[in-house]
């Protein structure tokens, strides 16, 4: 049993001298602004004109040519107005580094950058060339000069009114870069059979941290060579109510693609996305520029004109390609067809392509296990400056062992116990289904529940029918034998005349309507070339398929006023054109219009590229379970705190749904949603699941809530143009001089409006919770942009602020716990401390700060941590060694590099609001809240008994996040759509598997890294 866990987190020790470093800085030459704006806005319409000069590409190239330079983003006014931030410099460099860019070198760089600022084809315009020459002369005639800024306190910080550290913006880059430089001075990290030598990677102004990467390592697995590197990320963070900022170290594995596809003989790259490239030449890029050991940033992109992959011309790669001498850039065809030739040692440029799942499998496993991370961290700690120390280890908090909920079911032993548990769980599902679907005006009558199965293959149909019965513990075949049903009966079923199977249990009748998905309703969508614009083609096709499916289901008796469930068989998304022909979202919208919630099951395939995880029996069973959960059939983890928590405590969760312009329906939408989970008096973990209907100002059932989101996501046609130009956040590459659709000013203005709408939503929703004790659960990374009170620098204990009004005391009935996960590396890497001589591990449990007797009251501790057990499929040794190659018992060289690692994340639970003994409004007879008890209850909510594995988020927050599947923005229809229109495309589903505890999944773009 591990009693403590250690984190790779460091901060300035109390009462020690600050860690300082001296820098030279280069202020941004604001006197260039007018000349640059005249150039960048040449031939632009009024709505597309820039208000500030786009410097992203210049910043990236500066970090390439001058590797020791730290480039800062230019200060901008805050969202919603207010004073501009204090003046910050544009670039910093350590004081002991020689001048990084001589005037002549900087002048050539400025010339190359200026050519990228005009619209496409502007260089051929004589008027633009005239402006270009004049602007170049003015800039080079008045170059800025480096100025000393003295010693900078790298980890010192002001403290907010709430008691939280508020570092200066520049410290997020200066402190992490300084620690990275110190680590680079260490002796290489030794391991059995070799050593790791690290180099720095380029980091842009918005990356907010430093990154180091080892040389490529080669391992022979299954008779092929596979390459990977070890990566270290260093980042600076804050923690609520802690007056000192913290440095985090995060270790990982970057796998390199070495084997092109067997068919194309090339690496598979995305068609429409730029592929990130890192370059490391052996000689300086330009005469006079310093030599560099760091990596340079570039990009590869498909050229629509030639249909070939080439170096992008209007980004840092284009600038470098213009400036550099011949031979710095590899030929793209050679790199993609022979990637292994560029890895490792060799003359000239070294290159490696970052592996992605689109390229197929990789035999090197991802991640590092805790024992090796601990060893790497111990090596890096040698570089810590004096006075910077590791934070204290965490100890087990309240609760026993893993901090399990009261209704946690023990793992059955033997077939008899397993069968009994399956029957008990099925009976509990039937009970819950009866409770949530019972009609109040039909007391005493059996409750009738209907579900639909829309199938395409007989194999899936047969398995789905058996899985439906198994999920609900139903005996028999639903009358199929009595009706003497044949395959022809199933094939010939049509809306209104389905094959209906029925099971009767005590007080409950269950019917399953089986219909073949005919008429092409489940087929791929077709692009109509007559419709101009990809977004318009998608909208037309999705709307047409949506209406056809709705009418088809209504013919079968679907009632939009009574939510139901349908299981839909659909082909694997790889069989559709990415982002264009997948009908999944059109099907979901059509079913929602007919009052049906949807769950999908993928058609089995023998294609090796299609990974149908698990058997069809297993997938069908879990599909029905996920569908029943959408109906509200849930088991709430029951807390073990007894009287330490208010009686009748319920849980509310807030989630910000964010759909972008490149989402499933090609329309953006930001929508706050809230879910309420209330324990039912029947006990056994049964709970009422409701969602907040902001228009009606009331809580409604979870199925009605999900279906209602389809309408709430609709956008009025007259507002469409405003939405497309102002609601989409600026993305990487949003400064493209070819088509500047969105400016930062427009986005900031629109974000202010979204925050105001969120504030109004919060005020109404929170007001509805005043009649019963409630814990509000929020998610830091998901919601703090739209609810700034959740930010570390703004929040204060036991207060709440929803809008512009001053913060006020939290309501008597309300408590507030904020959850923060590892996104952005905001929670630390960790490991359980083992006894000497044993491997460090991954213990599950609830963790707290060690309390010094007599120096701190428990109510003053507000930040706790949660870890959960590993799923059974990840039964790995914590001592797995990714690096070493050893001689096995057979005398052969062996390696564990091919084994994948898995680590539970460390989830932060911050009790932002409660009622302690210091609350002046608390009556003397009232028992004060214990923050630790509230945090433990939220930890237990991650262990839902009806899920096979712990959830990544507490159950109420998980349910709120799943609502994103039904927020599919479409233009509101003023008139019926002509159903004779041809169909157009949908988009792949971004939502993660519910059974795995994932609320949203994202696929990172391919990257290329060149050494």
pLDDT average, residue stretch 396-400: 86
Phi and psi at residue 436, to the nearest 5°: -85, -15
From 492, 490, 487, 486, select the one nearest 512 (Cα to Cα). 490
Q: What is the pLDDT of residue 854?
A: 53
pLDDT in tens, 887-910: 666 767 677 888 888 888 999 999
Q: Could you tell me if 825 and 233 are in contact, meaning their C-beta atoms sit under 8 angstroms apart?
A: yes
- The whole-number pLDDT of residue 575 equals 83
Residues 476 and 483: their CA atoms lie apart, in Å, by: 13
Tell me the pLDDT band of 272, cut-offs 50, 70 and 90.
Answer: low
Other beta carbons within 10 angstroms of residue 294's beta carbon come to 18
Give Cα separations from 764 to 176, 698, 704 (angstroms).
Answer: 42, 9, 19
CA distance 381 to 525: 55
Nearest C-alpha neighbor of 599 from the set 624, 563, 562: 624
Q: How many whole angstroms separate alpha carbon 738 and alpha carbon 732? A: 14
pLDDT in tens, 663-694: 676 667 789 999 999 998 877 788 999 999 99
- What mean pLDDT is predicted for residues 346-356? 78
pLDDT at 651: 98
**Percentage of the chain surpassing pLDDT 70?**
82
pLDDT at 394 over 50: yes
Residue 991 has pLDDT above 50, yes or no: no
Per the model's pLDDT, the better-predicted residue between 497 and 127 turns out to be: 497
pLDDT digits (tens, 9 = 90+) for 130-173: 888 999 998 888 888 888 988 999 999 999 999 999 999 999 99
Give every CB contact of residue 807 below 8 A, 6+ residues apart in sequence: 789, 796, 799, 800, 801
Residue 865: the pLDDT is: 97
Instruction: Report the pLDDT value the prediction gives residue 315, as an integer from 0 to 100.
Output: 56
Q: Is the dihedral of CA 966, 968, 969, 972 positive or negative?
A: negative
Which residues are registered as beta bridge partners of 799? 809
Least confident range of 182-196, 307-321, 548-562, 775-789: 307-321
DSSP string, 384-407: PPTTEEEPPPEEE-SSSTTT--TT
Give the model's confidence band at 722: pLDDT under 50 very low, under 70 low, under 90 confident, else very high. very low
Residue corresponding to tokens 């959830």: 951
Q: What is the mean pLDDT of residues 195-207?
A: 85
Q: For 810-838, what is the mean pLDDT?
A: 94
* Residue at token pair 């990789």: 362
Structure tokens of 978? 């002509």
Helices 534-555 and 584-593 cross at an angle (nearest 10°) of 40
Q: d(Cα 464, Cα 329) in Å, to the nearest integer?
A: 54
Q: Are 247 and 388 in contact (CB under 8 A)?
A: yes
Q: Which is more confidently placed, 612 or 708?
A: 708
CB under 8 A, 24+ apart: contacts of 212-217: 212/180, 212/183, 212/184, 213/254, 213/295, 213/1009, 214/189, 215/344, 216/256, 216/343, 216/344, 216/352, 216/1011, 217/883
State how far the Cα of 402 lies from the Cα of 406, in Å rounded to an integer: 12
What is the reported pLDDT for 997? 32
For the CA atoms of 403, 406, 409, 411, the dihedral, rounded to the nearest 10 degrees, stands at 30
Give mean pLDDT, residues 860-869.
93
| pLDDT tens-place string over residues 253-264 | 999 888 888 878
Give φ, ψ of 672 to 5 degrees.
-80, 140
pLDDT band per the 50, 70, 90 thresholds, residue 550: very high
pLDDT at position 731 is 32
Q: Which residues pair with 669 in a beta bridge?
A: 659
Q: What angle do CA 582, 586, 592 make, to 5 degrees?
A: 145
Integer Cα distance of 207 and 213 in angstroms: 16
DSSP-based three-state secondary structure for 833? coil
User: Per the structure block, which two tokens stand in for 57?
Assistant: 């590409």
Mean pLDDT highest for which of 192-206, 376-390, 870-884? 376-390
807 vs 888 pLDDT, higher one: 807
CA separation, residue 348 to residues 228, 280, 290, 330 (Å): 20, 9, 17, 9
Look at 155 and 992; give whichever has higher pLDDT: 155
**Position 346 pLDDT exceeds 90:** no
User: Residue 856: pLDDT band by 50, 70, 90 thresholds?
Assistant: low
Q: How many residues does the chain have?
A: 1011
**What is the pLDDT, as a whole number, of residue 589?**
92
Q: Tell me the HSE value of 569 on the side-chain side, using a 13 A CA sphere.
A: 24
66 pLDDT exceeds 90? no
Give residue 857's pLDDT band: very low, low, confident or very high (50, 70, 90).
Answer: low
- Of 51-55, 114-118, 315-319, 994-998, the poorest mean pLDDT is in 994-998
3-state secondary structure 858-903: HHHCCEEEEECCCCHHHCCCCCCCCCCEEECCCCCEEECCCCCCCC
Residue 282 has pLDDT above 90, yes or no: no
Alpha-carbon distance of 788 to 782, in angstroms, equals 11
* Higher per-residue pLDDT: 874 or 796: 796
Choose from 137-141, 184-188, 319-323 the range with maximum mean pLDDT.
184-188
More confident residue, 306 or 743: 306
> Has residue 128 got a pLDDT over 60?
yes
Q: What is the four-CA torsion angle of 472, 475, 476, 479, rounded to 10 degrees?
A: -70
428 pLDDT more than 80: yes
pLDDT at 588 over 70: yes
Which tokens hold the place of 330?
């590899």
- Rounded mean pLDDT, 338-364: 81
d(Cα 36, Cα 875) in Å, to the nearest integer?
Answer: 59
For residue 360, the model assigns a pLDDT of 80
Exposure of 884 in the CB half-sphere (CA atoms within 13 A): 12
For residue 973, the model assigns a pLDDT of 58
Using alpha carbons, list the distances in angstroms from residue 831 to 5, 364, 510, 869, 943.
5, 22, 48, 13, 21
473-480 CB contacts, 8 Å cutoff, 24+ apart = 473/422, 473/423, 473/426, 473/427, 473/429, 473/430, 474/426, 474/503, 474/505, 474/510, 475/503, 476/503, 477/501, 478/502, 478/503, 478/512
CA 886 to each of CA 186, 222, 252, 469, 895: distance values in angstroms, whole numbers, following the listed order: 26, 16, 22, 51, 6
Cα atoms found within 13 Å of the Cα of residue 910, Cβ hemisphere only: 23
Q: Is residue 443's pLDDT more than 70?
A: no
Spatial CA neighbour of 997 closest among 921, 945, 942, 915: 942
Phi, psi (5° rounding) for residue 388?
A: -100, 120
Instruction: Enumerate the β-bridge partners of residue 158.
Output: 166
Predicted confidence band of residue 573 (pLDDT cuts 50, 70, 90): confident
Band of the pLDDT at 921, cuts 50, 70, 90? Answer: low
pLDDT at 1000: 31
Could you tell me what percent of the chain has a pLDDT over 90? 46
Q: Residue 903 and residue 842: Cα distance in Å, rounded?
A: 7
Upper half-sphere CA count for residue 288 (Cβ side, 13 Å):
11
pLDDT class for 534, splitting at 50, 70, 90?
A: confident
pLDDT of residue 45: 82
Would you say 658 and 961 are in contact if contact means Cβ atoms under 8 Å apart? no
Orientation of helix 616-630 relative to helix 702-712, angle to 10°: 80
What residue has token string 């094959």? 499
Q: Which residues contact 829 (CB under 8 A, 6 or more apart)?
A: 7, 8, 248, 249, 250, 251, 373, 377, 903, 906
Q: What is the mean pLDDT of residues 522-534?
A: 81
Selected residue with higher pLDDT from 328 and 755: 755
Residue 873, pLDDT above cutoff 80: no
What separation in angstroms does the CA of 675 have from each of 238, 601, 875?
Answer: 29, 26, 34
Most confident among 31-35, 137-141, 565-569 (mean pLDDT): 565-569
Cα–Cα distance, 336 to 356 (Å, whole number) = 14
Q: Are 388 and 17 in contact (CB under 8 A)?
A: no
Quote the CA–CA distance of 295 and 308 in Å, as a whole number.
25
Lowest mean pLDDT: which of 281-290, 332-341, 579-588? Answer: 281-290
Q: What pLDDT is attached to residue 666?
A: 65
Per DSSP, the three-state class of 972 is coil
647 neighbors 773 (Cβ within 8 angstroms): yes
Helices then strands (H, E): number in the chain? 20, 41
* pLDDT band at 985; cut points 50, 70, 90: very low
Decide which of 728 and 412 is more confident. Answer: 412
When pLDDT is cut at 50, 70 and 90, the band that residue 324 belongs to is: low
Round the average pLDDT of the chain to a whole number and report it: 83
DSSP for 751-794? HHHHHHHHHHHHHHHHHTTTTS-EEEEEEHHHHTTTSGGGSTTT
Mean pLDDT of 694-714: 92
Confidence band for 318, pLDDT divided at 50, 70 and 90: low
Q: Beta strands 650-659 and 774-779: pairing type?
A: parallel
Q: How far is CA 1009 from the centre of its chain?
A: 23
Residue 109 exposure: Cα atoms within 13 Å on the Cβ side: 26
Task: Please state the rounded mean pLDDT for residues 87-95.
Answer: 83
CB contact at 8 A, 201 and 236: no
Whether pLDDT at 846 is above 80: yes
Q: Please state, in angstroms and as integers, the Cα–Cα distance from residue 763 to each residue in 98, 308, 435, 699, following that order.
A: 56, 54, 31, 14
Q: Assign 737 a pLDDT band (cuts: 50, 70, 90).
A: very low
pLDDT band at 532 (very low <50, low <70, confident <90, very high): confident
Predicted confidence band of residue 176 (pLDDT cuts 50, 70, 90): very high
For residue 312, name the pLDDT band (cuts at 50, 70, 90): low
* pTM > 0.85: yes
pLDDT for residue 858: 67
For 939-955, how does the pLDDT look when each residue is reduced to its tens digit (9 = 90+)? 999 999 988 889 999 99
């Amino acid at each position: 049993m591990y009693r403590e866990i250690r984190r790779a987190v460091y901060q300035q020790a109390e009462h020690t001298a600050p860690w300082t470093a001296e820098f030279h800085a280069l202020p941004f030459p604001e006197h260039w602004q007018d000349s640059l704006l005249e150039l960048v806005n040449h031939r632009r319409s009024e709505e597309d004109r820039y208000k500030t000069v786009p410097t992203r590409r210049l910043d990236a190239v500066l970090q390439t040519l001058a590797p020791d330079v730290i480039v800062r983003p230019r200060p901008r006014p805050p969202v919603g107005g207010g004073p501009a931030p204090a003046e910050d410099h544009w670039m910093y460099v350590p004081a002991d580094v020689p001048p990084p860019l001589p005037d002549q070198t900087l002048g050539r760089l400025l010339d190359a950058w200026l050519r990228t600022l005009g619209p496409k084809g502007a260089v051929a315009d004589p008027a633009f060339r005239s402006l270009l020459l004049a602007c170049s002369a003015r800039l080079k005639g008045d170059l800025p000069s480096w100025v000393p800024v003295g010693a900078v306190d790298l980890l010192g910080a002001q403290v907010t009114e709430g008691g939280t550290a508020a570092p200066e913006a520049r410290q997020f880059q200066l402190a992490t870069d300084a620690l990275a430089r110190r680590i680079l001075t260490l002796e290489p990290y030794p391991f059995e059979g070799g050593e790791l030598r690290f180099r720095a990677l380029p980091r842009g102004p918005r990356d907010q941290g430093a990154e180091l990467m080892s040389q490529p390592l080669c391992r022979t697995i299954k008779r092929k060579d596979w390459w990977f590197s070890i990566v270290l990320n260093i980042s600076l963070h804050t923690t609520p109510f802690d007056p000192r900022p913290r440095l985090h170290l995060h270790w990982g594995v970057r796998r390199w693609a070495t084997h092109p596809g067997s068919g194309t003989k090339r690496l598979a790259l995305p068609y429409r996305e730029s592929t990130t490239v890192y370059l490391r030449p052996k000689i300086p890029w330009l005469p006079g520029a310093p030599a560099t050991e760091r990596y340079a940033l570039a990009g590869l992109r498909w050229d629509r004109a030639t249909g070939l992959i080439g170096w992008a011309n209007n980004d840092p790669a284009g600038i470098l390609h213009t400036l550099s001498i011949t031979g710095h850039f590899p030929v793209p065809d050679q790199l993609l067809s022979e990637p292994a030739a560029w890895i490792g040692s060799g003359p000239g440029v070294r290159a490696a392509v970052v592996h992605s799942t689109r390229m197929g499998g990789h035999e090197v496993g991802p991640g590092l296990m805790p024992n090796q991370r601990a060893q790497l961290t111990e090596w890096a700690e040698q570089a810590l400056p004096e006075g910077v120390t590791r934070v204290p280890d965490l100890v087990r908090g309240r609760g026993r062992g893993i901090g399990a909920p009261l209704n946690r079911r023990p793992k059955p032993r033997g077939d008899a116990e397993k069968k009994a548990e399956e029957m008990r769980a099925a009976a509990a599902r039937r009970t819950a289904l009866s409770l949530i679907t019972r009609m109040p005006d039909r007391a005493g009558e059996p409750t009738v529940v209907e579900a639909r199965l829309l199938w395409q293959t007989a194999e899936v149909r047969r398995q789905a029918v058996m899985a439906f019965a198994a999920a609900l513990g139903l005996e028999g075949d639903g009358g199929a034998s009595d009706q003497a049903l044949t395959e022809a009966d199933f094939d010939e079923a049509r809306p209104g005349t389905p094959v209906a199977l029925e099971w009767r249990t005590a007080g409950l009748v269950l019917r399953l309507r089986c219909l073949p998905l005919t008429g092409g309703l489940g087929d791929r969508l077709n692009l109509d070339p007559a419709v101009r614009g990809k977004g318009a083609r998608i909208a037309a096709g999705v709307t047409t398929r949506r209406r056809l499916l709705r009418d088809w289901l209504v013919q079968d008796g679907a009632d939009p006023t009574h939510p139901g469930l349908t299981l839909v068989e659909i082909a694997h998304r790889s069989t559709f054109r990415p982002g264009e022909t997948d009908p999944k979202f059109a099907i979901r919208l059509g079913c929602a219009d007919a009052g049906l919630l949807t769950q999908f099951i993928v058609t089995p395939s023998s294609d090796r590229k299609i990974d149908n995880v698990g058997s069809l029996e297993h997938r069908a069973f879990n599909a029905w379970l996920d569908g029943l959960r959408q109906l509200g059939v849930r088991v709430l983890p029951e807390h073990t705190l007894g009287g330490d928590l208010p009686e009748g405590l319920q849980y509310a969760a807030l989630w910000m749904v964010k759909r972008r312009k490149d989402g499933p329906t090609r329309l953006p939408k930001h929508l706050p949603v809230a879910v309420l989970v209330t324990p039912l008096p029947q006990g056994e973990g049964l709970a009422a699941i409701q969602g907040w209907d902001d228009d009606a100002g009331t809580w409604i059932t979870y199925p009605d809530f999900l279906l209602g989101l389809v309408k709430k996501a609709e956008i009025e046609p007259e507002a469409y143009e405003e939405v497309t130009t102002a609601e989409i956040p600026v993305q990487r590459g949003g400064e493209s001089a070819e088509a500047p659709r969105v400016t930062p000013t427009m986005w900031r203005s629109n974000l202010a409006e979204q925050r105001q709408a969120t504030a109004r939503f919060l005020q109404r929703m929170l007001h509805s919770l005043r009649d019963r004790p409630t814990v509000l659960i929020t998610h830091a990374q998901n919601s703090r942009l739209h609810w700034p009170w959740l930010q570390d620098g703004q929040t204060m204990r036991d207060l709440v602020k929803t809008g512009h009004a001053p913060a006020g005391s939290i309501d008597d009935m309300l408590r507030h716990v904020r959850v923060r996960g590892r996104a952005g590396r905001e929670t630390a890497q960790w490991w359980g401390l083992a006894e000497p001589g044993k491997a460090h591990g991954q213990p599950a449990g609830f963790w707290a700060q060690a309390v010094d007797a007599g120096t701190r009251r428990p109510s003053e501790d507000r930040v706790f941590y949660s870890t959960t057990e590993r799923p059974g499929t990840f039964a790995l040794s914590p001592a797995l060694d990714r690096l070493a190659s050893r001689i096995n018992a057979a005398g052969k060289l062996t390696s564990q590099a091919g084994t994948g690692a898995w680590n539970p994340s460390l989830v932060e639970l911050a009790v932002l609001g409660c009622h302690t003994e210091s609350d002046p409004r608390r009556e003397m007879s009232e028992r004060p809240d214990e923050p630790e008890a509230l945090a433990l209850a939220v930890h237990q909510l991650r262990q839902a008994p009806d899920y096979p594995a712990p959830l990544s988020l507490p159950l109420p927050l998980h349910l709120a996040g799943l609502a994103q599947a039904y927020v599919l923005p479409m233009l509101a229809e003023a008139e019926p759509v002509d159903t004779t229109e041809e169909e157009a495309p949908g988009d792949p589903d971004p939502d993660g598997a519910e059974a795995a505890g994932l609320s949203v999944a994202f696929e990172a773009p391919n990257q290329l890294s060149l050494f």
